[in-house]
């Protein structure tokens, strides 16, 4: 479980996708308003890809943004889905996460209802790009 959380933090924070660039983030956000399918947001140099479900994004009463995100690896042996929260002031946290094998069996999960700590979004990383997509800036 700690390995899953660490992997998500590295990849969503941008360390694992340091060379990743959004796949038309502005276009994806515009298309996502009425689309509940997964849309590619970025791909890393190692072939991992991160998708968001723009149609399921929601603003909370506290003003944060919730989104579902999916991470896939190029070998197809594993994928992961996470529920993320952005405060739109430079921080994000994970609410839940699960990784699956190709047959859909859960390999690891974090679904205990306790969010991760807030993580700062580092400038010039993929995480900053994701915040722009989710928060619209």
Write out the chain's pLDDT in tens, 137 residues.
Answer: 455 555 555 555 554 444 444 444 444 444 343 345 888 888 877 788 888 898 889 999 999 999 999 988 888 778 889 999 999 999 999 999 998 888 888 988 887 778 989 999 988 888 888 888 888 85
Q: What is the pLDDT of residue 67?
A: 92
Expressed as residue numbers, the domain containing 99 is 2-135
Q: What is the pLDDT of residue 61?
A: 95
Q: What is the pLDDT of residue 83?
A: 92
Residue 111 has φ and ψ, to the nearest 5°, of -135, 30
Query: 48-54 — which CB contacts under 8 Å span 24+ positions?
Result: 48/11, 48/16, 48/17, 48/72, 48/73, 48/74, 50/11, 50/12, 50/17, 50/20, 50/126, 50/130, 52/28, 52/130, 52/133, 52/134, 54/28, 54/29
Closest CA to 24 of 38, 7, 40: 40
Q: What is the pLDDT of residue 31?
A: 38
Q: Which residues pair with 109 in a beta bridge?
A: 98
Q: What is the pLDDT of residue 47?
A: 81
pTM (2 d.p.): 0.73
Q: What is the pLDDT of residue 62?
A: 93
Domain count, the chain: 1
CATH number at residue 54: 2.40.128
Q: What is the pLDDT of residue 2?
A: 53
Q: Can you tell me the distance from the alpha carbon of 63 to that of 84, in angstroms, rounded to the nearest whole number?
A: 14
């Amino acid at each position: 479980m700690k390995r899953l959380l660490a992997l998500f933090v590295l990849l969503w924070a941008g360390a694992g996708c340091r060379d990743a660039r959004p796949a038309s983030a502005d276009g994806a956000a515009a298309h996502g308003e009425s689309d509940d399918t997964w849309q590619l947001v970025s791909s890393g140099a190692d072939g991992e890809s991160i998708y968001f479900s723009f149609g399921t994004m929601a603003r909370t009463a506290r003003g944060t943004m919730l989104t579902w995100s999916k991470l896939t690896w190029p070998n197809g042996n594993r994928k992961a889905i996470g529920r993320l929260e952005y405060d739109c002031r430079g921080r994000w946290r994970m609410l839940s996460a699960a990784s699956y094998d190709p047959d859909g069996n859960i390999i690891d999960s974090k679904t205990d209802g306790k969010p991760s700590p807030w993580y700062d979004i580092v400038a010039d990383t993929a995480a900053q790009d994701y915040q722009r997509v989710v928060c619209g800036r």
